[in-house]
Structure 1
Amino acid sequence: MATRNLPDDPRLEHLRKQAKTLLKGVRAGDREALALADEFHSVDTLAEAQLVIARSYGFASWPRIVRHLELVDRYSRSPHRQAVGGPLDTPEQRADEFLRLATLHYDQDDPARQQAARDLLDRFPEIAQSNIYTRVVAGELDGIDYDQAAVEGGPYQWEPLLYLTYSRLDVPNQVEIARRLLENGADPNAGYLWQGMPSPFTALTGVFGRGEGDQPVHKDRVELARLLLDAGADPNDSQTMYNCGPGCPPPWDDVHLEILLEYGLGRGDGGPWHERMTTAHPTPQQLLEDELVFASSNGLLHRVELVLAQGIDPEGRGTRHPVFCGHRAYELAAVQGHTEIAEVLRARGAAPLDEVHEVFAAAMRGETPDVTKELAARAVARNPFLPIRAAEIGRTEAMEPLQRLGFDLNVMGMSAPLHQAASNGHLDTVRKLVELGADPELRDPSYQGNALGWAEYNRKQAVVDYLRGLPQGTGTR
């Protein structure tokens, strides 16, 4: 059965409304409602409509999805929504401000915040002794009440171990404090759900850092990671895998992967978070398959070899992350010219390219394949977003062949090809796209930014200068 993903920060009332709407639609003969009922269960009552809604999200029953939402509510936190710069009139206000400034909150984390935390501590040294949360962040080895090792508190309602692993202050004693917390009942799998998203931000996630904002790693990441894993942290950590893979910009290192594999990544039952989140959380095998797809797409040979050494099927597609449009690792490697990786995958049993992927590969090499209109149309229909990926990796030579095949160079996903080329500093690709009619004023749906805005945000000055120099009205508006 095909299923869909729950929205971020899901609410039970929203699902109840969906069930009521479904029931009304079935009774009214609505085609989409009837198709959903045909796929999952006949609908004559509200209870049956609720069952269909639950199954459409991958849950076996309505009580199961209700239980899931209860867990989401229990573990959901939104540290990024807490503002800094408020009143500092009381010791409690100063302590909370210090913790907010010193820790990652995963929404445009700014290194200046950590300096502000240090400045605040210099100004009010007593902050360090305010509570167990400020003590562990400030590296105060003495005076910690370890009876509170598993107590949630502070501005984010985190356990002390989370404040320590998400702190980015350069202070001593972090490893020793973490050891003592774990010896006194701290949960090595402590974590929270960022704004209700199903992938938990665990203590391990905090240690390894990175992510879409390229957050810094913890200065003691190796020692803390091993300490947590030795204490029972499950290595199948989905958010770490995302933050250190498709969720962060290059360059990538393999420290997290080597350590997690050593401790059993890809094996076991997925740990307590997989048990809590069930179908909303990837299995250990899916985590490794996702990693294989990511590494193959980005030319990371060592990562590919690390994953394949675990016996993973080279044909596995993991969670079919939308970034990769459900493609196989071999397809991504071969199409994007990662020849050595493609050879390794084929040697491990990956199936050859089909005729559509042969078209993709030729275009990415800068060739315009001699194909029928029907095959070209099938290629565009299978992956209309290929120009976005080509622009992202600077394949200037691919742009004209793709356009000749019928691909839209203004195609919009989370961004357009020109946004990706601009944000990654691929000036030649930007020039070629504009020459071929890509619209510099096209705005992305999330941030409403044009190509110039993306280049400015990512400090790609050569691209900024070129785009600013374009005549007004350039593009296909």
Structure 2
Amino acid sequence: MALSLPNNPDLERFRRDARRLQRAVRAEQPEAFSLVAAHHPGGVPTSASAFTLADAQLVVARSYGLASWPKLREFLRRSEPMRRDPTALSAEVVEADPAAAVPALACLGYDENDDPARWARAAQLLEQHPGLAAHGLAVAAASGDAAAVRAHLAADPSSARREVGPFRWPPLLYVVYSRMPQADAVASAGLLLAAGADPDSGYLWQGLPPPFTALTGCFGEGEMGPGRQPRHPRWRELALVLLEHGADPNDRQTLYNRMFGRDDSHLRLLLDHGLGESSSEVWAGRTGVAGETVEEMMGRQLRWAHAHGFADRLSLLEQHGFALEPGDTASPSRRVPRIHRAATAAAVRGAVAAGADVDARHHGRTALHQAALMGDLEVIAALLDAGADRAAVDSEHGTTPLEWARWARQAAAAELLRDPPHYGGAHDVP
């Protein structure tokens, strides 16, 4: 079962949750009974007054995906040294020290601040302070300065594994998460790995599993879309170097980040190197929990692909021996089609033909908003052909798909969504 912990999980917060739950059960509150019924192996107690604090702690732990309260405490204890929050570094601190600013601005932090303008600022600072790479390994790694990396390693070979820079990352992570122009990222990564850098380097973003690993940084993308969180320009070469040095291909965060778009290049590479096979599961050993099993991980990929019309992805997974079990998911013909699940142009046309509302909302946004975020020109064109409302506003920000495309740095998508449209039909998509 995948873990569903809150950001920056804290034991004291969970203790308060357990005490609150115990009081609610003893007060016979229906919502508390429902939570207990869902997560306590004994179900709702016949006598509410008999519901103990230990019972409440068990329910709290299981509601977050851990088997027991001791397992929750053990995860928090073991994960604490691996917890990092790249979003917590203030702009004032960063700008006060160029040696910290360059790697901090250059690297994806996986929040709303990820933006090409930050990476350009990192490059500008490095140009203004050309000696920074020679004085700091984090700067050398983020800028892909192989000569500077080599010099640092010659002076101190153990620095390949030491945590450095503003995020307290090992140098390898600065190489693969950087999106500023780099001199030679592949050579820099190779030097670090040859000097003993861990190919499974990573961290727990705000204390949450699964880890953001070196492979995660190579493959990029995520909830902010590929315009703000792109894959590394040399992602394939970097990923191959990591995999050849033994990186675990069962990279759950990569699978999550990349499942929203139609491109399957990450899956092809990982499948060729053992994705879906029981392997070392290094991070399960480090944190004490695996979260979802390998079987659950692959099942989630299959169900997402099935639900969103990713026929090519389903075919690819089937070629490698992964397929949905009969009855694992309902047949699309037996349920009302949902346009927000149509993530390909063909799926859009099929859903509309089956009666789907092209402007239906999911989490307050329309399918056109989501396609704009992802920069999926074919899906945008199919939605517009089906009559999608380009003036629809989302419920959270009150913005149109065009504004989403502009925020997501999807220039080609913005061109399609302009009103009056700069668009002549599906076959004219640039």
Q: Please give the range of the TM-score, normalised by the shorter of the 2 chains.
A: 0.7 to 0.9
Equivalent in the alignment of 2:119: 114
Equivalent in the alignment of 1:96: 100
Equivalent in the alignment of 2:200: 189
Could you tell me which of 413, 416, 421 is aligned with 2:363? Answer: 413
Q: The residue matched to 1:306 in structure 2 has which SS? A: helix
Q: Separation in 2 of the partners of 1:238 and 1:390?
A: 23
Taking the TM superposition and a 5 Å limit, the aligned residue runs for 1:288-367 are 288-297=298-307, 300-315=310-325, 328=329, 353=331, 357-360=332-335
Q: CA deviation at 1:262?
A: 2.3
Equivalent in the alignment of 2:259: 245
Q: CA deviation at 1:296?
A: 4.3
Q: CA deviation at 1:17?
A: 1.9
CA contact (8 A) 1:149 1:185 kept: yes
Could you tell me which of 395, 412, 415 is aligned with 1:444? Answer: 395
Could you tell me which of 264, 274, 297 is aligned with 2:274? Answer: 264
Could you tell me which of 164, 177, 200 is aligned with 1:153? Answer: 164
Could you tell me which of 245, 251, 255 is aligned with 1:231? Answer: 245
Equivalent in the alignment of 2:32: 33
Between 453-462 and 135-144, the greater mean CA deviation after superposition: 453-462
Cα gap change, 1:316 to 1:288, in 2 (>3 Å)? farther
Q: Separation in 1 of the partners of 2:340 and 2:315?
A: 27
Matched, 1:64 2:16: no
Matched, 1:402 2:359: no
CA contact (8 A) 1:229 1:263 kept: yes
Q: Separation in 1 of the partners of 2:101 and 2:417?
A: 39
CA contact (8 A) 1:133 1:154 kept: yes
Q: The residue matched to 1:224 in structure 2 has which SS? A: helix
For structure 2, the residue ranges without an aligned partner over 5 or more in a row are 422-430
Could you tell me which of 86, 92, 109 is aligned with 1:105? Answer: 109
Q: Separation in 1 of the partners of 2:287 and 2:297?
A: 15
Equivalent in the alignment of 1:136: 141
Q: The residue matched to 1:465 in structure 2 has which SS? A: coil
Could you tell me which of 310, 317, 341 is aligned with 1:389? Answer: 341
Give the AA of the match of 1:54: A
Cα gap change, 1:450 to 1:97, in 2 (>3 Å)? same
For structure 1, the residue ranges without an aligned partner over 5 or more in a row are 318-326, 332-352, 361-378, 468-477
Equivalent in the alignment of 2:87: 80
Cα gap change, 1:258 to 1:417, in 2 (>3 Å)? closer
Give the AA of the match of 1:49: A
Equivalent in the alignment of 2:424: none
Cα gap change, 1:431 to 1:83, in 2 (>3 Å)? farther
CA contact (8 A) 1:412 1:444 kept: no
Equivalent in the alignment of 2:176: 165
Q: Separation in 1 of the partners of 2:322 and 2:342?
A: 28
Taking the TM superposition and a 5 Å limit, the aligned residue runs for 1:175-186 are 175-186=186-197
Count of paired positions? 394
Give the AA of the match of 1:310: H
Q: The residue matched to 1:315 in structure 2 has which SS? A: coil
Q: CA deviation at 1:297?
A: 4.9
Cα gap change, 1:224 to 1:45, in 2 (>3 Å)? same
TM-score normalised by length of structure 1: 0.71
TM-score normalised by length of structure 2: 0.78
Cα gap change, 1:195 to 1:28, in 2 (>3 Å)? same
Between 56-65 and 133-142, the greater mean CA deviation after superposition: 133-142
Cα gap change, 1:244 to 1:391, in 2 (>3 Å)? closer
CA contact (8 A) 1:136 1:160 kept: yes
Between 448-457 and 419-428, the greater mean CA deviation after superposition: 419-428
Q: CA deviation at 1:84?
A: 4.3
Q: Separation in 1 of the partners of 2:94 and 2:304?
A: 45
Cα gap change, 1:302 to 1:122, in 2 (>3 Å)? same
Matched, 1:465 2:402: no
Cα gap change, 1:35 to 1:168, in 2 (>3 Å)? closer
CA contact (8 A) 1:170 1:219 kept: no
Q: Separation in 2 of the partners of 1:206 and 1:14?
A: 31
Q: The residue matched to 1:402 in structure 2 has which SS? A: coil
Cα gap change, 1:292 to 1:102, in 2 (>3 Å)? same
Q: The residue matched to 2:190 in structure 1 has which SS? A: helix
Q: CA deviation at 1:243?
A: 2.3
Q: The residue matched to 2:365 in structure 1 has which SS? A: coil
**1:300-348 CA deviation, whole Å, 9 max, x = no partner?**
555433322332232289xxxxxxxxx73xx6xxxxxxxxxxxxxxxxx
CA contact (8 A) 2:349 2:386 kept: yes
Cα gap change, 1:441 to 1:268, in 2 (>3 Å)? closer
Equivalent in the alignment of 2:428: none
Q: CA deviation at 1:169?
A: 4.0
CA contact (8 A) 2:79 2:286 kept: no
Cα gap change, 1:30 to 1:389, in 2 (>3 Å)? same
Q: Separation in 1 of the partners of 2:2 and 2:232?
A: 37
Q: CA deviation at 1:241?
A: 1.5
Q: CA deviation at 1:83?
A: 4.3
Cα gap change, 1:202 to 1:297, in 2 (>3 Å)? same
Q: CA deviation at 1:116?
A: 2.6
Give the AA of the match of 1:109: D
RMSD: 3.5
